[in-house]
Amino acid sequence: MTSPDELYQAHRELLDRAISAASARDYWSAFPESPSKKVYGDQAAPAGDRAFTALLGQTFAVDVPGAVGTVSTERSPYGLELGISYPKGDPQALVAAARAATPGWRDIGPEGRAGVAVEILQQLHARVFELAHTVQHTTGQAFVMAFQAGGTHALDRGLEAVAYALAATTRMPARASWSKGPLHLEKTATVVGRGVGLVIGCTTFPTWNGYPGLFASLVTGNPVIVKPHPGAVLPLAVTVQVCRAVLTSAGLNPDIVTLAAEDPGDGIAATLATHPEVRIVDFTGSSEFGDWLEANARQAVVYTEKAGLNTVVVDSTADYQGLLGNLAFSLSLYSGQMCTTPQNILVPRDGISTDAGHRSAAEFGADLAAALDKLLGDPRRAAGTLGAIVNDGVFSRLTEAGTAPAIVHPSTAVADEQFPGATIRTPLVVQLDAADEKTYTREWFGPVSFLITTDSTAHSLQVFSETVRAHGALSALVHSTSPSVLDAARSAALDAGVHLSENLTGGVFVNQTAAFSDLHGTGANPAATAALTDDWFVAGRFFTLQSRRHVDPS
């Protein structure tokens, strides 16, 4: 048995480094993102493959307090038969178990909890190849992306949340002395969690979007019930399994983290989210359910990350090929099934000025389509970038949008050698005018984007600011060589409440954010009430309780 204090001592250097990176906002990562043998050795990949294969067709080995029967709800977008079942969660029993485990978790203090959290992250990292397979076959992310976004980047986001939570819960000293003339007091400050935490996972990024809330709630002193999306249970089931094993081996009650698997339609997310003892809700998913949670989970603080109208404003560029290649990749990565994928691309009707000369709006559309075809011309490479369509909802939106009268780039099927059953599609780009706001102010999550002609860049910025203020966004991008346009775009982004990327023409993409440096979400527009990760994301999860008494000053 390794105590929480011993785990803290073992991981203290890493924690200090993580806190310092989060404060500096420069590049830092604790978990190498390359799945190459040079980094992970010869055996890691095949061992991960075997571990994943051993899970197939089994009842997953995780204790769930009060579970009744099992559920089996997943279907691989790659067509692999999963056949995994999970103990079915009972909301009342899960909350009761979480409550019972709370005092012991409170008493070990912030450092002990951070030590346990880092140990969990390290043990998940030891299973990162297995974890990548679980992400691939639930979300449809291609393997390398699943390894990175679903594995190492998710672990980085988890560690970032640990760092913020530890810094926030230790900023006020646990002991202080107070002297005023003849009066001398000793004071203590104790961090107490807000209550039971609930993490509601999504189907596309179960780990990347789930880990921040999970680890932020844990380190601030709360037990967490993990409620995965029925379509992506496995990555979070592995996570809960590791959490419980680490808790147990640290001599703690494992019910600090439990799994709440359900059949689609059981609605236990709503039951749990409105339970009086559930005081923290983290949610990633549809605007519809996110808005419902914000309105109805009144007894809890609710951190949501929903959807919006991610926007690109194209004014001018000094690197036209770079612009096209960068944007084509952003539209293609994981078939646009990212909450940060651009949907609305605003271009002046009269065209743009580039280093390759003036390009009309129509020419820009044709050039973007050509860039997509070039990027996705080789089927193997295309499959590795696009991944698979996660579910029927995405597919039906794609089908609906494909009936539009003016298509800039049609969506076509791509075959995958390894997984012939995979549903893989290239991005659809539809031509619209700024007047067609009924269409482009809807969210079309998936490989659907709009090339929207406007009167001018000023008009583009106005459409950008107004639509994002009203409907939200998680990302925005501007291309311009004009300092005054960039200034105006920054101002519009501040008004809209969205982060802005400028002139991305190389290997950084608008839909990607880096832990410890980039915030994901702002809270300032309707797409999210949280930013991953800032002080607001952790400060609502705990209280500081003081006690004070006279002491002899000698």
Residue 295 touches a copy of itself, criterion: CB under 8 A? yes
Residue 185 touches a copy of itself, criterion: CB under 8 A? yes
Which CB sits closer to a copy of itself, 66 or 325? 325
Q: Pick from 136, 152, 453, 522 the residue near a copy of itself by CB under 8 A.
A: 522
- Tell me the three state secondary structure of residue 247: helix
Euclidean distance between CA atoms 15 and 17, whole angstroms? 5
Q: How far is the CB of 522 from a copy of itself (least distance, A)?
A: 5
Q: Pick from 180, 403, 405, 554 the residue near a copy of itself by CB under 8 A.
A: 180
Residue 534 touches a copy of itself, criterion: CB under 8 A? yes
Q: Pick from 67, 161, 474, 498 the residue near a copy of itself by CB under 8 A.
A: 498
Binding region for a copy of itself (CB under 8 A) out of 21-29, 68-76, 150-158, 398-406: 21-29
Binding mask 221-250 for a copy of itself (x = CB under 8 A): ------------------------------
**List of residues 6+ apart from 487 with CB closer than 8 A:** none
State the pairing for strand pair 70-71/448-454: unpaired
Q: How far is the CB of 472 from a copy of itself (least distance, A)?
A: 13
Structure token digits, residue 520: 């994901």
Q: Which residue, among 24, 60, 1, 404, has the nearest Cα to 228 in the 3D structure?
A: 60
Which CB sits closer to a copy of itself, 23 or 36? 23
CB 516 within 8 A of CB 156: yes
Euclidean distance between CA atoms 323 and 317, whole angstroms? 7
Structure token digits, residue 156: 């980085």
Residue 166 touches a copy of itself, criterion: CB under 8 A? no
Residue 518 touches a copy of itself, criterion: CB under 8 A? yes
Q: Pick from 9, 16, 25, 381 the residue near a copy of itself by CB under 8 A.
A: 25
Q: How far is the CB of 218 from a copy of itself (least distance, A)?
A: 18
Residue 519 touches a copy of itself, criterion: CB under 8 A? yes
Q: Pick from 547, 552, 553, 554 the residue near a copy of itself by CB under 8 A.
A: 547
List residues bridging with 224 in a β-sheet: 197, 257
CB 465 within 8 A of CB 458: no
Q: Pick from 3, 123, 190, 271 the residue near a copy of itself by CB under 8 A.
A: 190
Structure token digits, residue 478: 């501007």
Q: Looking only at residues 105 through 164 of this chain, which bind a copy of itself when binding is defined by CB under 8 A?
A: 106
For the chain, the straight-line distance linking the first and the last C-alpha, in angstroms and rounded, comes to 41
Q: How far is the CB of 200 from a copy of itself (least distance, A)?
A: 20
Residue 370 touches a copy of itself, criterion: CB under 8 A? no
List residues bridging with 205 in a β-sheet: none
Strand arrangement, sheet containing 448-454: 407-409, 428-433, 448-454, 344-348, 311-314, 476-479
Which CB sits closer to a copy of itself, 172 or 370? 172
Euclidean distance between CA atoms 6 and 131, whole angstroms? 27
Residue 484 touches a copy of itself, criterion: CB under 8 A? no
Q: Pick from 98, 168, 375, 414 the residue near a copy of itself by CB under 8 A.
A: 168
Residue 504 touches a copy of itself, criterion: CB under 8 A? yes
Burial 462-496 (b: 16+ CB within 10 A, else e): bbbbebbbebbbbbbbbbbbeeebbebbeebbebb
Task: Please give the size of the binding site for a copy of itself, defined by CB under 8 A.
Answer: 61
Residue 380 touches a copy of itself, criterion: CB under 8 A? no
**List of residues 6+ apart from 108 with CB closer than 8 A:** 4, 5, 116, 252
Binding residues for a copy of itself, per CB under 8 A?
Answer: 23-27, 106, 168, 171-173, 176-180, 182-183, 185, 187, 189-190, 192, 194, 295, 298, 490, 493-494, 497-508, 514, 517-519, 522-524, 531, 534-536, 539-540, 543-550
